[in-house]
């Protein structure tokens, strides 16, 4: 599904969080938004998800207004947002329940996605019994279970340690190559963006604007240590550094 943002502006009580954000994510593309903290990345994602209203501007999904496609969007939160009173299976079933899918079918679908993220053994476990990495796998399975056409991910691995983060990035890259969803992925981790993205949108410090739109021509699966990746990382980090210093 193609996502188009036209001149999205968001102000909170006079504070400009986002200013004139315009970009398009093409069908099946994996786009990463990278920016310094406080640049409004999360707000942007929340607006696209319909959790917040933009002050100005327009969001189109396949050329139609957002409200027609609310149910085509999946969201993966940084804090996982798993319901502690539901076990893994029931968490993954949640979105299917909201869509009114009958019990047996939703269990079957949920199990499929739980298997996909490698947690079949933990179906009956409750979130508090899982590690951070497992929790986010559940979060991803839950978002994918409703078969969204657009997947929004808000620093999904931000709370994990570096090793776990790498593993989950690899899993996500594999999943994406299989499922071919359109993904918009917010992160402040440049390595992560280079590892995952087809494109990287660099944002400025507050007020958040799109500073640069970088297309990555690196082959997949990505090599974190390739010279191209290293050069790109250096360039992006420098740009970000300027932005952060400006915002101080």
> Contact between 40 and another protein (CB under 8 A)?
no
C-alpha span between 88 and 3 (Å, rounded): 31
Residues near another protein (CB under 8 A), total = 25
122 touching another protein, by CB under 8 A: no
Residue number, 146 or 175, with CB nearest to another protein: 146
Looking at the Cβ atoms of 159 and 244, the one nearer to another protein is 159
- What are the C-alpha distances in Å from 13 to residues 37, 55, 75, 142, 149? 20, 11, 26, 34, 33
Q: Does 49 bind another protein (CB under 8 A)?
A: yes
Bond into 207 cis (ω within 30)? yes
Please report whether residue 23 would count as binding another protein according to CB under 8 A.
no
Helices and strands in the chain: count of H runs, count of E runs: 7, 10
Q: Is 132 among the residues that bind another protein (CB under 8 A)?
A: no
Output the smallest distance, CB 108 to another protein, in A.
Answer: 18
Which residue of 33, 42, 77, 205 would you call a contact of another protein, by CB under 8 A? 77
Is residue 156 within the footprint of another protein (CB under 8 A)? no
For 172-218, give the DSSP string: HHHHHHHH--EEEEEES-HHHHHHH-SEEEEEPSSSB-EEEEEE---
Nearest to 134 by CA among 186, 62, 80: 80
Using CB under 8 A, list all residues that contact another protein.
46, 49-51, 70-71, 73-75, 77, 79, 81, 83-86, 94-95, 97-99, 126-128, 146
């Amino acid at each position: 599904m193609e996502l188009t943002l036209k001149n999205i502006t968001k102000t909170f009580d006079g504070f400009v969080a986002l200013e004139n954000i315009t970009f398009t994510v093409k069908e099946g593309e994996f786009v990463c938004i990278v920016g310094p903290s406080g640049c409004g990345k999360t707000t942007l994602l929340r607006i696209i998800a319909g959790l917040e209203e933009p002050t100005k501007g327009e969001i189109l999904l396949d050329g139609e207004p957002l409200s027609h496609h609310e149910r085509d969007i999946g969201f993966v939160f940084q804090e996982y947002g798993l319901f502690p009173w539901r076990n893994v299976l029931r968490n993954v079933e949640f979105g299917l329940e909201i869509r009114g899918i009958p019990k047996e079918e939703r269990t079957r679908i949920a199990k499929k996605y739980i298997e996909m993220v490698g947690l079949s053994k933990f179906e009956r476990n409750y979130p508090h019994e899982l590690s951070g990495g497992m929790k986010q796998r559940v979060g991803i399975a839950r978002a994918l279970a409703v078969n969204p056409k657009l997947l929004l991910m808000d620093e999904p691995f931000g709370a994990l340690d570096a090793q776990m983060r790498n593993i989950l990035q690899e899993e996500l890259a594999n999943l994406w190559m299989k499922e071919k969803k359109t993904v918009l992925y917010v992160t402040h981790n440049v390595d992560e963006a280079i590892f995952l993205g087809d494109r990287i949108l660099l944002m400025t410090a507050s007020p958040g604007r799109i500073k640069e739109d970088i297309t990555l021509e690196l082959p997949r699966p990505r090599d974190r240590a390739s010279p191209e990746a290293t050069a790109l990382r250096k360039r992006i980090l420098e740009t970000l550094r300027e932005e952060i210093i400006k915002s101080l």
